[in-house]
């Protein structure tokens, strides 16, 4: 019965139409045919498959418009560039409140959550990706480009969604899942400078804690939490050269900062919770049992070459 339930749930996710909510529009440029050659069609199909996982998972009635490009050689495995808008803390918090649908959303803005009424970082400027801004209802849906994802063509990849852990090959779908999520808003700024604006942060930075009541919004380390650090859900990257809000290495995960070849990197239940609290509304029922099933079933993420960052 358990196997049957898992199979039924997987079928439900696969069958959920993109038109029910979130739609990721992909535009592939001419470098893909040039750099990926005979693998160009397989590569494009794999990115499309990765985008469909997000379409299936989230119900926001918006379009996320992403250009897909490539680079020759092995200088990068995957990278993203994203358009950002600055917002006040009050605007950001109110958007999360108005968009709240899950229990994690409610915890964030409730007593003892990560988003208190007063700005928790003095003098901070906050930024949201244009895709995230639409998901949170800060800006209306539109057809403007939200960002670009670029993939290195010089690695050995497996593009097959049914065979993602192949010795000597990188899980390309995992790489694509990782980069797409960054355009959607899963990126840390962590006190850095955007243009000429110092002391800059993103929403995910406010979810980083090293312990109860101890925020770790600047730099590397800490863990993802929605309840002011009382529950540390997963550790953020601690290795310089990787992204601050990717995961620390350990279990194979689409949002890890680093990976080896030969492994499958899925979107985990915690990854889904991250995207939920960044503004994306779950398309399936929220109960914790559902999230546990998701950890077994959902496909996802990506990473770089052995100890190569995204």
- pLDDT tens for 51-76 read 999 999 999 999 999 999 999 999 99
Residue 182 counted as domain residue: yes
Closest alpha carbon to 19 in 43, 44, 47, 55: 55
Is-contact 174 46, C-beta < 8 A?
no
Q: Which residue has the tokens 């899925």?
A: 266
Residue 272 counted as domain residue: yes
Residue 14 counted as domain residue: yes
Q: Does the pLDDT at position 15 exceed 70? A: no
Q: How confident is the model at residue 284 (pLDDT cuts 50, 70, 90)?
A: confident
Residue 239 counted as domain residue: yes
Residue 309 counted as domain residue: no
**Strand, coil or helix: what is 294?**
helix
Task: Give the whole-angstrom CA distance, residue 110 versus residue 130.
Answer: 26
pLDDT at 253: 97
Residue 90 counted as domain residue: yes
Number of separate domains in the chain = 1
* Opening angle at CA 236, ends 121 and 266, nearest 5: 130
Cβ-Cβ contacts under 8 Å for 44 (sequence gap 6 or more): 28, 32, 68
Our CA dihedral for 95, 147, 23, 170, rounded to 10 degrees, sits at: -120
Our CA dihedral for 206, 138, 54, 51, rounded to 10 degrees, sits at: -110
pLDDT tens-digit profile of 215-235?
Answer: 999 999 999 999 999 999 999
Q: What is the largest CA-CA distance in the chain?
A: 58
Closest alpha carbon to 14 in 62, 72, 73, 55: 55
Structural domain boundaries, residue 191: 2-297
Question: Mean pLDDT, to the nearest integer, of 249-264?
Answer: 95
Task: Give the whole-angstrom CA distance, residue 154 versus residue 139.
Answer: 38
pLDDT at 275: 98
pLDDT at 65: 98
Give the Å distances, CA to CA, from 174 to 50, 148, 193, 272, 300: 8, 17, 29, 14, 5
Q: Does the pLDDT at position 146 exceed 90? A: yes
Residue 307 counted as domain residue: no
Residue 302 counted as domain residue: no
Task: Give the whole-angstrom CA distance, residue 156 versus residue 128.
Answer: 34
Cβ-Cβ contacts under 8 Å for 30 (sequence gap 6 or more): none
Q: How confident is the model at residue 241 (pLDDT cuts 50, 70, 90)?
A: confident
Closest alpha carbon to 186 in 174, 202, 170: 202
Q: How confident is the model at residue 285 (pLDDT cuts 50, 70, 90)?
A: low
The pTM score is 0.87
Q: Which residue has the tokens 């930075």?
A: 205
CA-based torsion, 303, 274, 237, 90: positive or negative: positive
Task: Give the whole-angstrom CA distance, residue 96 versus residue 82.
Answer: 20
Is-contact 302 173, C-beta < 8 A?
yes
How does 41-68 read in b/e, with b if 16+ C-beta sit within 10 Å?
eebbebbebbbbbbbbbbbbebbbbbbb
Is-contact 87 138, C-beta < 8 A?
yes
Task: Give the whole-angstrom CA distance, residue 96 versus residue 126.
Answer: 13
């Amino acid at each position: 019965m358990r196997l049957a339930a898992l199979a039924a749930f997987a079928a439900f996710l696969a069958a959920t139409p993109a038109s029910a909510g979130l739609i990721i529009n992909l535009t592939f440029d001419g470098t893909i045919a040039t750099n990926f050659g005979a693998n160009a069609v397989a590569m494009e199909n794999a990115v499309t498959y990765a985008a469909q996982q997000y379409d299936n998972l989230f119900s926001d009635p918006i379009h996320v418009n992403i250009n897909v490009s490539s680079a020759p050689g092995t200088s990068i495995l995957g990278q993203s560039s994203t358009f950002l808008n600055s917002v006040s803390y009050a605007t950001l918090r109110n958007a999360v409140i108005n968009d709240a649908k899950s229990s994690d959303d409610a915890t964030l803005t409730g007593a003892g959550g990560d988003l208190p009424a007063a700005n928790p970082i003095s003098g901070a400027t906050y930024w949201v990706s244009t895709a995230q801004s639409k998901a949170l209802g800060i800006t209306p849906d539109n057809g403007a480009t939200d960002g670009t994802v670029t993939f290195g063509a010089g690695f050995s990849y497996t593009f097959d969604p049914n065979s993602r852990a192949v010795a000597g090959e990188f899980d390309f779908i995992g790489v694509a899942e990782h980069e797409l999520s960054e355009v959607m808003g899963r990126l840390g700024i962590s006190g850095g400078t955007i243009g000429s604006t110092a002391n800059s942060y993103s929403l995910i930075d406010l979810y980083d804690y090293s312990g109860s009541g101890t925020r770790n919004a600047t730099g590397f380390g800490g863990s993802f939490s929605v309840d002011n650090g009382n529950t540390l859900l997963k550790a953020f990257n601690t290795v310089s050269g990787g992204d601050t809000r990717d995961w620390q290495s350990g279990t194979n995960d689409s949002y890890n900062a680093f990976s080896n070849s030969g492994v499958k990197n899925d979107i985990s239940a915690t990854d889904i919770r991250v995207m939920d609290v960044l503004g994306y509304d779950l398309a399936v029922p929220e109960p914790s049992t559902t999230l546990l099933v998701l950890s077994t079933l959902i496909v996802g993420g990506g990473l770089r070459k052995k100890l190569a960052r995204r």
